[in-house]
Amino acid sequence: MAKGPKNSSGRGQRDLKVKVKTARGRKTSSTRWLQRQLNDPYVKRAKAEGYRGRAAYKILEIDDKYRFLVPGARVVDLGCAPGGWCQVAVQRVNALGEKAGKAQGTVLGIDLQEVDPIPGAQLHQLDFLDEGADDRVKDWLGGRADVVMSDMAAASSGHKQTDHLRIITLCEAAAELAFDVLEEGGTFVAKVLAGGAEGSLQQVLKQRFAKVANFKPPASRSDSSEKFVVATGFRGRRSEPEEAEAPGGPLE
């Protein structure tokens, strides 16, 4: 189980925070971001444990709660750069076959940009919005996926409501691909931003999955509006009239 970074302060010790001075030509906001990064315990832990970013702990904590990255699972990571989620998936689904007696899984990472190789993961440069992307994913997997997950976020505009709508649109597109490539009983995990427009996405997911939940992992910064939708028990593809009449599952 993933554990949060330990607080090392105690008797005879004190927390030493790094302070960053605002350099000439650097925006105050950039200075705040840099100072937050230097003092973030998850950033420090990621460096120590070999993960490509603090986001790795988000999927670790999500999977600790919902248990979908199991040995033998076939996983698609949309927008996988820089690769932290793929690294976690490789370990948990036994993509390298290192867990004796356990089924060996598959991890497929997809991103618009080239991603440095990750042992145990198949990485492809692809726009998942392209026509036929779902067929290419299934070809690379050699079948359907057990998990489709996404930590994607649209480029920030600085306007909260605009950014919210952008990420919901991106999440809806990821869900549409998941509907095409998931095996019955599969899981869909994606990042969203709280803001009100996610209601329609939730309704669609409740028609397609047995259970839909929202979860904010401890690794997600407290001042961030991000949360993760976790949809489990994919009902499989049906005709449109059947989908419209499908009962919704429970929402946590």
The number of helix segments (H) and strand segments (E) in the chain equals 8, 7
Is 83 annotated as ligand-binding? yes
Residues 192-216 have a mean pLDDT of 88
Q: 56-66 vs 41-49: helix axis angle to the nearest 10?
A: 90
Are 90 and 60 members of one domain?
Answer: yes
Are 37 and 71 members of one domain?
Answer: no
Bigger pLDDT: 186 vs 226: 186
Is 151 annotated as ligand-binding? yes
Are 151 and 208 members of one domain?
Answer: yes
Are 32 and 137 members of one domain?
Answer: no
pLDDT over 90 percentage in the chain: 63
Are 201 and 91 members of one domain?
Answer: yes
| H helix runs in the chain, sequence order | 28-39, 41-49, 56-66, 84-92, 133-141, 160-181, 199-208, 240-245
Strands 106-111 and 182-193: unpaired
Residues 40-44 have a mean pLDDT of 87
Q: Tell me how long the chain is.
A: 252
Is 111 annotated as ligand-binding? yes
Are 173 and 231 members of one domain?
Answer: yes
- Which strands form 145-150's sheet, in the order they lie side by side? 121-125, 106-111, 74-78, 145-150, 182-193, 226-234, 209-215
Are 60 and 43 members of one domain?
Answer: no
Task: Kindly tell me if the per-residue pLDDT of 16 is higher than 50.
Answer: no
Domain presence at residue 72: yes
Are 150 and 215 members of one domain?
Answer: yes
The domain containing residue 31 runs over which residues?
21-50
Are 141 and 106 members of one domain?
Answer: yes
Q: Is 107 helix (H, G, I), strand (E, B) or coil?
A: strand
Is 85 annotated as ligand-binding? yes
Residues 207-226 have a mean pLDDT of 92
Cα 114 to the center of its chain, rounded Å: 18
Are 70 and 169 members of one domain?
Answer: yes
What pLDDT score was predicted for residue 164?
73
DSSP single-letter state for residue 251: B
Q: Which of 10-14, 47-51, 85-89 has the lowest mean pLDDT?
A: 10-14
Are 141 and 38 members of one domain?
Answer: no
**Catalytic residue among 17, 191, 216, 227, which?**
191
- Told to judge if 17 belongs to the known catalytic residues of this protein, a careful annotator would answer no
Number of domains in the chain: 2
Are 196 and 72 members of one domain?
Answer: yes
pLDDT digits (tens, 9 = 90+) for 108-155: 999 999 999 999 999 999 999 999 999 999 999 999 999 999 999 766
Domain presence at residue 1: no
